[in-house]
Amino acid sequence: MLKPTLESLSPNLIVDDVNKTVDYYTSILGFTLIASVPETGMYNWAMSMRDGVTLMFQSLPSIQEDLPALKINSKGSMGTFFIKMQGIDSLYQSIKDNADIVVDMRTTFYGMKEFVVRDLNGYFLAFAEEVK
């Protein structure tokens, strides 16, 4: 019997406006739009990627149609997304004037240099690089 192996995790974030969210992630954070439904016009769902990180965005009405058991009525973080990376100084310099940085660059007790961004939907993305 084949041993189960997890291959990836792609969060599907609930957002008010998928198009505006895709624009934010592509223009501010450097992601690329990979797929959307529909392919043009006002999206109900979209997938974006940067390097090895994939994020999906879906409107609340659309996800409730797909997953009726989901009983929520709002969006935003109930946790944070921790993104381990390389080249954090370069990323920070490229986005600092256009992103809502809620925790400025710091070095943590657990050996990471990191900063935290709040996106336009209220999600928190912690970008972190191991201190050598």
Percent of the chain with pLDDT over 70: 95
Residue-wise pLDDT for 79-95, tens only, equals 789 999 999 999 999 99
Sheet with 45-50: strands ordered across: 12-15, 53-59, 45-50, 32-37
Residue-wise pLDDT for 5-47, tens only, equals 678 889 999 999 999 999 999 999 999 999 999 999 999 999 9
